[in-house]
């Protein structure tokens, strides 16, 4: 949000006609954004392209392997 937008915000907003839970979806699964360092992202993109898979498939595969290693070490 820009400073101009913040300056234009009202002091108060009237939520008296608001509807609690209007957008709630039971069981919804959220995917949080993951921010990678530029050099890590570049490496992963190149690796995914070389393997012919999407970035998300590659990252999930790598993380699953790490999880398996962690579980084995316990």
What are the pLDDT digits (tens) for 7-45? 788 889 999 999 999 999 999 998 899 999 999 999 999
pLDDT number for residue 4: 63
- Residue 9 forms part of a structural domain: no
What is the pTM for the complete model shown? Answer: 0.61
Query: Does any domain span residue 21?
Result: no
39 within a domain of the structure (yes/no): yes
What is the number of structural domains in the chain? 1
Q: Is residue 12 part of a domain?
A: no
In a domain, 60, yes or no: yes
Of 37, 41, 38, whose CA–CA distance to 59 is shortest? Answer: 41
Instruction: Tell me which residue range forms the domain holding 74.
Output: 34-74
Residues 6 or more apart whose CB falls under 8 angstroms from that of 59 comprise: 44
Burial 7-24 (b: 16+ CB within 10 A, else e): eeeeeeeeeeeeeeeeee
């Amino acid at each position: 949000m820009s400073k101009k937008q913040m300056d234009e915000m009202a002091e108060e907003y009237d939520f008296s006609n608001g509807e609690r839970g209007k957008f709630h979806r039971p069981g919804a699964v959220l995917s949080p954004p993951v921010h990678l360092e530029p050099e890590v992202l570049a490496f992963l993109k190149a690796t995914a392209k070389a393997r012919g898979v999407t970035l998300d498939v590659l990252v999930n595969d790598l993380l699953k392997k790490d999880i398996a290693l962690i579980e084995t070490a316990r």
